[in-house]
């Protein structure tokens, strides 16, 4: 009986009766003292009426809270509300040594301030699907806490814990330029980070091709991987390996849009010494596809103007050839010297 009810709820949600995730949050937390099982029953038999009731309570709730910016929301603060956009979503990962699963996000507001979001365990399948990258939401009732230094993976020190009781409502779907500044590592500078497990890089590139997906044994465990070719405006290419969970999400987006030259920001990527320099995702990485930033739009426009160059790179597979200007560290780069008339290089 419960399974039939759940299936019907999923059908109703897919029919757009509930276009805002705040409604789902209110279902789990209860409406004005009514336990959520009663709300579920009402939804089953009177979905439109339930929609109107929950919309009323959600709107009332947001009107009663203080609208603040991210920088004004301090740890342990209650009764706040903030309009944010999802900048990125990481993959679901396990906590070392515990059965805890978690998924991290990064939110930003109109001022460009950022904060980390995190979802745990059973709340992940409930809340993660309704927080989509580049979408704008009004959020309240998240637990605000400081991030212990040993768990900080970026410059963010405050974390919002998103649960089924967090009230979230999508504001609109207008795309704004992201007021966030990224620091990208140039392809020519990647070699200095090669095989350094303590460092990661952010890169910007346009995806022009892909290799076949492979299953390999890594650390006595089978893993899936697929390589994609990134290109920059200097016509330099580098391979990006997407591992495991990235193949279930971002891979399909890239394959579906590869003819339109999708631009990606790879965040916290590892630089490997494999057939020269290559990039690889790991548990803390994030991949932003066609992000709403000016640099990405300029790169896509450049790619659209240079389709013949890109077609030539794909046809000749020049991206698999060794390029010393890209693959050698600064103190290792040499000038190629040729024998006159023989066309052979010394180095």
| 100-124: pLDDT as tens digits | 999 999 999 999 999 999 999 999 9
Helices and strands (H and E) in the chain: how many: 10, 16
CB atoms within 10 A of CB 310: 18
| Summary mean pLDDT of the chain | 81
Where does the pLDDT of residue 315 fall: very low under 50, low under 70, confident under 90, or very high at 90 and above? Answer: very high
The predicted pLDDT at position 39 comes to: 54
What are the structural domains, with CATH classification, of the chain?
1-64 (no CATH), 67-177 (2.40.50.140), 187-331 (2.40.50.140)
| Position with higher pLDDT, 334 vs 239 | 239
Where does the pLDDT of residue 43 fall: very low under 50, low under 70, confident under 90, or very high at 90 and above? Answer: low
Q: How far are the Cα atoms of 185, 287, 296, 347 from residue 199, in angstroms, in the given order? A: 12, 17, 24, 30
Which residues share a beta bridge with 217? 222
Where does the pLDDT of residue 41 fall: very low under 50, low under 70, confident under 90, or very high at 90 and above? Answer: low
**pTM for this prediction:** 0.74
For residue 254, the 8-state DSSP code is H
Q: How far are the Cα atoms of 27, 50, 95, 233, 256 from residue 245, in angstroms, in the given order? A: 30, 36, 16, 29, 17
* DSSP structure string for 300-331: HHHHHHTHHHHHHHHHHTGGGS--HHHHS-GG
70 and 114 Cβ atoms separated by less than 8 Å: yes
Which residues, other chains included, contact 205 with Cβ-Cβ below 8 Å and sequence gap of 6+?
187, 230, 231, 232, 238, 240, 263, 264, 266, 299
Question: Each residue of 77-97: pLDDT tens digit?
Answer: 998 999 999 999 999 998 777
Which residues share a beta bridge with 119? 103, 162
Largest pairwise CA distance in the chain: 89
d(CA 54, CA 50): 6
């Amino acid at each position: 009986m419960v399974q039939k009810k759940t299936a019907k709820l999923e059908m109703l949600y897919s029919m757009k009766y509930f276009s805002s995730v705040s409604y789902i949050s209110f279902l789990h937390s209860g409406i004005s003292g009514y336990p959520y099982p009663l709300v579920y029953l009402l939804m089953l038999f009177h979905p439109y009426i339930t929609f109107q009731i929950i919309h009323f309570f959600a709107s009332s709730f947001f009107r009663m809270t203080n609208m603040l910016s991210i920088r004004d929301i301090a740890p342990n603060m209650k009764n706040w509300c903030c309009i944010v956009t999802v900048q990125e979503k990481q993959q679901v990962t396990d906590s070392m040594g515990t059965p805890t699963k978690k998924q991290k996000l990064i939110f930003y507001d109109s001022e460009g301030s950022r904060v980390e979001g995190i979802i745990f365990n059973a709340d992940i399948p409930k809340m993660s699907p309704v927080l989509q990258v580049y979408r704008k939401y009004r959020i309240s009732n998240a637990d605000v806490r400081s991030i212990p230094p040993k768990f900080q993976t970026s410059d963010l020190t405050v974390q919002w814990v998103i649960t089924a009781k967090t009230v979230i409502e999508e504001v609109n779907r207008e795309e704004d330029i992201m007021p966030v500044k990224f620091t990208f590592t140039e392809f020519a500078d990647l070699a200095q980070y090669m095989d350094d497990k303590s460092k990661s890089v952010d890169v910007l590139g346009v995806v022009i091709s892909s290799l076949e997906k492979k299953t390999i044994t890594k650390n006595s465990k089978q893993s899936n991987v697929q390589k994609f070719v990134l290109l920059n405006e200097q016509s330099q290419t580098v391979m990006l390996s997407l591992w495991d969970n990235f193949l279930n999400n971002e891979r399909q987006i890239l394959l579906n849009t590869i003819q339109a030259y999708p631009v990606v920001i790879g965040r916290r990527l590892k630089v490997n010494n494999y057939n020269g320099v290559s990039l690889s995702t790991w548990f803390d990485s994030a991949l932003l596809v066609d992000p709403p930033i000016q640099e990405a739009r300029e790169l896509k426009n450049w790619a659209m103007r240079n389709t013949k160059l890109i077609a030539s790179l794909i046809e000749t597979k020049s991206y698999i050839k060794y390029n010393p200007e890209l693959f050698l560290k600064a103190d290792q780069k040499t000038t190629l010297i040729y024998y006159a008339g023989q066309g052979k290089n010394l180095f």
